Structure 1
Amino acid sequence: MYKQISLLLGAGLLSTLVSAQNLYMNDMKLKSDLDWLNAQGVIQISTSTWPLTGNEIKRALAAANIANQTQQQVIASVQSTLNDYGREGVKATVDAYVQTDREALPQNFADDKTAGQEAVFGLGLSEQDWEFNLKARVKNDDLIDDSTVDFDGSYLAGKALNQWLIAGKIPAWWGPGHEGSLIRGDATRPVTGFTMQRDEQTAPTSKYFSWVGPWQYQLFAGQLEDYTSAPDANLFGMRLTANPWPWLEAGASRTFIWGGEGQPRSLSSFVDALTGLRDNGDTGKEDPANQLAGFDLRFNLAPLTQTPAGIYASYVGEDEAGGLPSKKMYLAGADYASQINDMPYQLYAEYTDTRTNGHVRNISYNHSIYKDGYYQQGYPLGHPLGGDAESVSVGGKLWVSPEDFVTAKLQYAKVNQADNDINQAFPTTDKLKVVDLTWSHQWQPQALINTRLWAVDSDINSTDIGAGVGLELTYR
């Protein structure tokens, strides 16, 4: 019977894959949908490198192995996101959000509401091989900077030979974590620059390399804002992921800050930074860049044991020793996806340690030459807690109905244990106990309501209880 359900629902799905949007930026609801389907063994898609492309999502859905109505419900949720455009053409959005003070609330994936009051006006145009998106955000009382207008999320992109080239201010995410990425997260403003990646992550056709399975790369080059220790410093990054088996995804990432006023900008210094040959100062010369690199793995248990769960881990090093990253930071977690009363849910637990090999040494996300560290405008380019932090989080996500999606998180964190003031997210040593709840309600096809409640108990500040509410309107 399950095979009949799979065939019937799959045939209907193929007939409705009509999305014209090409690029999907960091989106908690979309990532949660895809993660749940991955853990259930319904689809195989990598969600560790953002942005995602519409064609890759459709490729995964076209091969979906749907066995029950609950899985079809989540498939329909993804398809609803893909149908946001419905056809090639123009899309306009208006998004307003207000919230109380949230200075002590840790950020997580796609958590970009950092102003007390903001209104975002968006205009997008999508065609088969190119896409344009303009976003203007008017804001007040922002955590990260004092500007009243920014254009975060704006970009121009074109595709050729299965490759996308994106120019603009887009967020990124590298790694399998729910709460953060050790090397490239979205806790700071998007870095202005160029991104290149594949459209569809198909496996190599060569008999010698087909074992690699579906794979993706991402290259990035951009310029940091308000980097006072070396103005106009540049950020470069590269990531490679592969799925050699349905139960395993492996990733490798590397970034470096190079150039800027007062620093070498020669071709030879760039080559040294790119190759990492002088990363740890063994040559007796100054390091040409602030460099990080690391590896991550995710094991999906459904293909092996029919258990809808996953285990993941990553580590990132500040320097190199023996050809591998050293002075390491760690992240590990597990998640489980199931349903109760036909309501899908996902549970996860995650541990993060951004100290140096388990010790507070004021090295993580810090550098002797690039003294603003691995931050932009004082906010981390890696994990949202910044360096020398420890965190334990447990969370859950519940699809109450096709219109209602709820998330909940408990977190205990020790932040900035080195008491380094370059970390403006948490500028002093502190201990945090966090309760964080969100609810998204699709009020009408063109109207989405987002609400959030949180409580943060801090050792150095009084307990903060806050709330936020927003309304997003879409016109096609």
Structure 2
Amino acid sequence: MNKKLLIVLSVSIVAIVPILTTTASAQNLYINDLRLKAGIDWLNTQGVTQISTSTWPLSANEIERGLQGAQFTNAVQQQVIQSIQTRLSQDRDSLVKASGEIMLQSDRQSLPQTFGDDQLAGQQISGSVGLSEANWEFNLQATFKNDELIDDDSDFSFKGSYIAGMAANQWLIAGKIPAWWGPGHDGSLIRGDASIPVTGFTMQRDTQTAPTYKYLNWVGPWQYQLFAGQLDDYDAVPDAKLFGARLAASPLPWLEVGASRTFMWGGEGRPDSISSFGDAILGTKDNGDNDNGDPANQLGGFDARVQLAPLFNVPASVYGQYVGEDEAGGLPAKNMYLAGIDYASAAMGKPYQLYAEYTDTRTSGEVRGISYDHGTYTDGYYQQGYPLGYALGGDAESVALGGRLWLDGRNFIHAKLQHAKVNQSGELDRRTGEADNQAFPMADKLTAIDVSWEHQLQPLTKLTTRLWAVDADNRSSDIGAGIGLELATY
């Protein structure tokens, strides 16, 4: 799959370079960037902006559209706006962008992942080259890794590579990029970024403006995302496909609602007719041309976020998500849940954000070995043993307390304390005799503290450090550290 992706990207790059103009725009698409997301979330919670961060990738044009309507009332709010504007304009005057990164970290087998946590090897060196024009963009990224957390049978990876084109406010993206569907800070129940990204195609809007048609204008700013890709190393059903769709809208300035659905379909020995695909899309029938009548592996659910600043002048928001493994009466059933609250303020002129998040990936509150599992796609809702949804996998409970602090325009700190019960069913795959969930392969209880610091040494040089400690009942306790250096040319 990696070789195929490299060939596609190389041919596509050769094809589009001659038609690019000599003046490039800023980066068009932003991929799961924690500092960027935290800054936008802070402004939203303060009531300054209304920019959705529930669907990633996120376009630069949408962020800029939201910032243009920002209503700041103090210097701290203006400071956060300026930091985001600086992030967007870093590469505005360049044609070809290049960057390199080296990352070293100790073993982190028990550390729960979080949004944008893509350092998945003990040692890795990455290099990328990209080009952005108003309606086109590509990024070719190659990574050499050693002592990797996720075993994909290769020392090289092209994750983060993509080519994208935009027309009529619609982006079409092909590549190996992560996604994120939902309002959570630490996880999404249906499409998170804990696994190596699934290679495929993504389609979504550029700017999320409200419909102009008078009878639909009430929908407010809205976004959709469609995805189609093929899973790597899915041994239970080789060449299985993953499809997904998400729709999110803000009908009121203080409310965002979303609906998401994914399904695994096809693959070796599975039906691949148009009618069976239609049945999978409808979700109301089994794949009827298969003798044993097994359905596609489907997930679906809803989420919402309520901003309290427009309602009560309180800089906080509450949010929730629920996703079902089954359907009953047209609604998700056998549900998993996520709920949280966050607060944004400033102390001594320094903006900070606090959040508390509870997640339950059991089956409607019961440990049944059903969540992220399936009778036909027996490797479950995982790729290479790592969840395509919430990072802890199925049959987990988690409480996380987190915070972000901007010391100044060059220093950003993220900290999290998390207590979790993981893989409580301890169920083993009947085909392999091993756990589908290789992130947490046995039932366990753990408490983790995770602190990271991002320091902008120079405009084109960034230093990242990380410290963590994990105390687990059944796995070795873990105290670790990591350091990374990123160099860029614009």
| TM superposition score normalised by structure 2 | 0.92
1:333 aligns with 2:347: no
Tell me the residue number matched to 1:35. Answer: 41
Q: Verify the 8 A CA contact 1:96 1:120 in the aligned structure 2.
A: yes
SS at structure 1 position matched to 2:419: strand
**Residues 284 and 138 of structure 1: is their aligned pair in 2 closer, same or farther, counting only changes over 3 Å?**
closer
Tell me the residue number matched to 2:182. Answer: 175
Q: Verify the 8 A CA contact 1:158 1:164 in the aligned structure 2.
A: yes
Q: Verify the 8 A CA contact 2:350 2:405 in the aligned structure 1.
A: yes
SS at structure 2 position matched to 1:358: coil
Match of 1:445 among 459, 464, 468: 459
Q: Which residues of structure 2 form unaligned runs of 5+?
A: 1-23, 428-434
Distance in 2, matches of 1:157 and 1:167, equals 6
Q: Verify the 8 A CA contact 1:278 1:287 in the aligned structure 2.
A: no
Q: Verify the 8 A CA contact 2:25 2:132 in the aligned structure 1.
A: no
Tell me the residue number matched to 1:12. Answer: none
Q: Verify the 8 A CA contact 2:457 2:463 in the aligned structure 1.
A: yes
Q: Which residues of structure 1 form unaligned runs of 5+?
A: 1-17
Tell me the residue number matched to 1:85. Answer: 91
Tell me the residue number matched to 1:72. Answer: 78
| Matched AA of 1:316 | V
Q: Offset at 1:89?
A: 1.3
Kindly report which structure 2 residues correspond to 1:33-432, keeping only aligned pairs within 5 A, or say none. 33-87=39-93, 89-145=95-151, 146-278=153-285, 286-420=293-427, 421-432=435-446
Q: Offset at 1:287?
A: 3.2
1:473 aligns with 2:480: no
Distance in 2, matches of 1:303 and 1:287, equals 48
Q: Offset at 1:401?
A: 1.0
Q: Verify the 8 A CA contact 1:21 1:85 in the aligned structure 2.
A: yes
Number of aligned positions between the proteins: 458
Distance in 2, matches of 1:42 and 1:88, equals 30
SS at structure 2 position matched to 1:61: helix
Q: Offset at 1:19?
A: 5.9
Distance in 1, matches of 2:43 and 2:286, equals 40
Q: Offset at 1:285?
A: 6.0
Distance in 2, matches of 1:165 and 1:171, equals 15
* CA offsets 1:87-129 (integer angstroms, 9 cap, x no match): 3511000011000000000001000101000011010000000
RMSD: 1.4
**Residues 125 and 316 of structure 1: is their aligned pair in 2 closer, same or farther, counting only changes over 3 Å?**
same
Match of 2:474 among 454, 460, 476: 460
Q: Offset at 1:279?
A: 5.8
Distance in 1, matches of 2:223 and 2:67, equals 18
| TM superposition score normalised by structure 1 | 0.95
| Matched AA of 1:416 | N
Distance in 2, matches of 1:242 and 1:469, equals 39
Tell me the residue number matched to 1:9. Answer: none
Distance in 2, matches of 1:179 and 1:232, equals 30
